[in-house]
Amino acid sequence: MLEVVYLIFNEGHTATSGADLMRPSLAAEAIRIGALLATLAPDEAEVHGLSALMQLHASRAPTRVDAEGEPVLLVDQDRSRWDRGLIAGGLAALARADALSTTPGAYHLQAAIVACHATAASVETTDWARIAALYGELALRAPTPVIELNRAVAISRAQGAAAGLALLDALRGEPALARYHLLPSARADLLARLGRFDEARAEFARAAALAGNDRQRQRLEARAAACGNRAKRGSTRDS
């Protein structure tokens, strides 16, 4: 049941296809069902963990797209516009999950990760080391290549882009990620941070070709073009 509710939420949070990044009514319905489950199973930590996870994710919805509906990266989001009511509700649900279990499950751990973002004043002041450690613990509970990808991104923030890129490179042969656009997108972002703009352009273009959502694809194409321009400027300076 929890898995189905979270699948509904995820489709609302980031639509897998179509012209819009989000489907708010789906996300809201999943949050409503999560709250109902929490009243029906008040002593189940994972129920509260899922409720916390969905509320904390949803708190960023007002800033995830701009006035034209284009995606806005986490680093560029105006945190003063995040929904404080949802953050408070999510943190309360997380505290309830903490009180019920000393061995957190997958939803509980993911909620703890999102709480690190929700309570940080900026990307720079986010506790990336804790996020990386939580992803490591999550990998022990439910090992998947996607979790390793997310851990690599957190490590890139905690230890530097080169450290994160090495971990992402090790995932390139994973069959489960062969058509997952977030792997080349994450690699592209780290390559750009390292100044390797021509490689970043190619990876953003590959990610765009794999993206099912129109808004995501357009954003990735724009980032590919921007990296291409940076690479050309660098080549001009070198010549």
140 assigned to some structural domain: no
pTM of the model: 0.89
Same domain, 7 and 122: yes
- 21 close to 15: Cβ distance less than 8 angstroms: yes
- 8 close to 30: Cβ distance less than 8 angstroms: yes
CA geometry: angle 57, 63, 65, nearest 5 deg: 105
**Which amino acid type is present at position 150?**
N
| Residue 111: per-residue pLDDT | 98
Q: Cα separation of 236 and 239, whole Å?
A: 5
Same domain, 103 and 203: no
> What is the extent of the structural domain holding 233?
179-239
pLDDT tens, position by position, for the chain (239 residues)?
Answer: 999 999 999 999 988 888 888 999 999 999 999 999 999 999 999 999 999 999 999 999 999 999 888 889 899 999 999 999 999 999 999 999 999 998 999 999 999 999 999 999 999 999 999 999 999 999 998 889 999 999 999 999 999 999 999 999 999 999 999 999 999 999 999 999 999 999 999 999 999 999 999 989 999 999 999 999 999 987 656 54
| Residue ending a domain, choose from 82, 101, 126 | 126
Same domain, 114 and 184: no
Find all residues with CB under 8 Å of 77, minimum gap 6, and list them. 60, 63, 64
Query: Count of domains in the chain?
Result: 2
What is the maximum span of the chain, computed from C-alpha positions, in angstroms?
68
| Residue ending a domain, choose from 126, 154, 170 | 126
162 assigned to some structural domain: no
148 assigned to some structural domain: no
167 assigned to some structural domain: no
Same domain, 39 and 106: yes
214 assigned to some structural domain: yes
Same domain, 121 and 25: yes
Q: Cα separation of 203 and 206, whole Å?
A: 5
Same domain, 183 and 115: no
159 assigned to some structural domain: no
